[in-house]
């Protein structure tokens, strides 16, 4: 994309592992509800969905068949116009071996991986390295989740030592934590950017009512963003959002005000593949 402005990858995380319709009636839980939400968010400007699935009781799940059912529903509704990224989030339920086994069985288009969970210590490095190499050989697009600038420096050490293959990675900076009334601020990204010496392709996600401000700041600073009910239920004015698509649309308008073009799914795939 030489000579052109790099388009802004706007992803949606419509439910996460914890939210339920008790939090907001438009939180999608079933495959069909997720698919309808995906299509609406695509129309609002999202090019990627960060996918969580639930079991029959509405609890977080990494079940391969549940993922296949949800992905099939999304493809029927949105075709290839959305990049589908599955989560490996443990949520205190799954061990790293189960997380990696799910990905090997599912072979998704894209996957998010919390470095703290997949490579918690030096003992975990050898089989994590094999897993990351397998992702690369299968052309599965990984996004590595980082919770602090220290996480980023440790991740870069893994890259430097070949545990993570390649030089420039796709990473997600998490601005905050899952805590009551957590509200992230755009300035929370600055320590990550100062530590991003390898110039990774970066996105951020944020918590609370300043989510849109954080996402638009990412667009202004050359990054990308993920928004949605997983981390926030409110519009920039503080009112309750009617649905996930409204959160996506608010950020899309902000990107347009910056003169930043939105990426489509194929552009996102190409950027994330390097």
220: CB partners within 8 A, 6+ apart: 258, 260
Average pLDDT, the chain: 96
State residue 44's pLDDT score: 98
| Per-residue 3-state assignment (H helix, E strand, C coil) for 20-33 | CCCCCCCCCCCHHH
Give the model confidence (pLDDT) of 232-253 as tens digits. Answer: 999 999 999 999 999 999 999 9
User: For the chain, which ranges sit under pLDDT 50?
Assistant: 1-3
DSSP character at residue 234: B
Q: Token pair for residue 121?
A: 């210590």
Tell me the CATH number for domain 10-273: 3.20.20.70
Query: CB-based contacts of 113: which residues, under 8 Å, 6+ apart?
Result: 88, 99, 142, 143, 144, 145
* pLDDT recorded at residue 4: 67
For the chain, what are the domain ranges? 10-273
pLDDT for 3 = 46
Sign of CA dihedral 27, 33, 38, 40: negative
Predicted pLDDT of residue 177: 77
Helix, strand, coil: what percent of the chain each, to 5? 40, 15, 40
């Amino acid at each position: 994309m030489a000579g052109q402005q790099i388009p802004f990858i706007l992803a949606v995380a419509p439910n996460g592992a914890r939210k339920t319709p008790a939090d907001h009636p438009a939180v999608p839980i079933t495959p069909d509800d997720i698919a309808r939400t995906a299509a609406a968010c695509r129309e609002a400007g999202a090019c990627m969905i960060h996918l969580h699935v639930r079991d029959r009781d509405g609890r977080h799940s990494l079940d391969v068949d549940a993922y296949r059912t949800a992905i099939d529903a999304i493809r029927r509704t949105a075709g290839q116009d959305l990049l589908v990224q599955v989560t490996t989030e443990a949520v205190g339920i799954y061990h790293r071996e189960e997380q990696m086994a799910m990905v090997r069985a599912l072979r998704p288009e894209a996957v998010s991986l919390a470095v703290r969970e997949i490579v918690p210590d030096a003992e975990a490095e050898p089989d994590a390295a094999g897993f990351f190499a397998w992702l690369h050989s299968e052309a599965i697009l990984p996004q590595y989740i980082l919770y602090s600038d220290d996480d980023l420096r440790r991740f870069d050490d893994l890259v430097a030592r070949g545990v993570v293959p390649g030089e420039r990675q796709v990473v997600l900076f998490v601005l905050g934590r899952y805590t009551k009334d957590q509200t992230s601020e755009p300035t929370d990204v600055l320590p990550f950017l100062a530590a991003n010496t390898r110039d990774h392709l970066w996105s951020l996600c944020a918590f609370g009512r300043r989510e849109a401000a954080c996402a638009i700041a990412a667009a202004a600073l050359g990054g990308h963003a993920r928004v949605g009910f997983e981390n926030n239920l409110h519009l920039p004015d503080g009112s309750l959002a009617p649905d996930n698509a409204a959160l996506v649309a608010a950020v899309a308008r902000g990107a347009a005000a910056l003169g930043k073009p939105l990426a489509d799914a194929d552009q996102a795939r190409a950027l994330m593949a390097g």
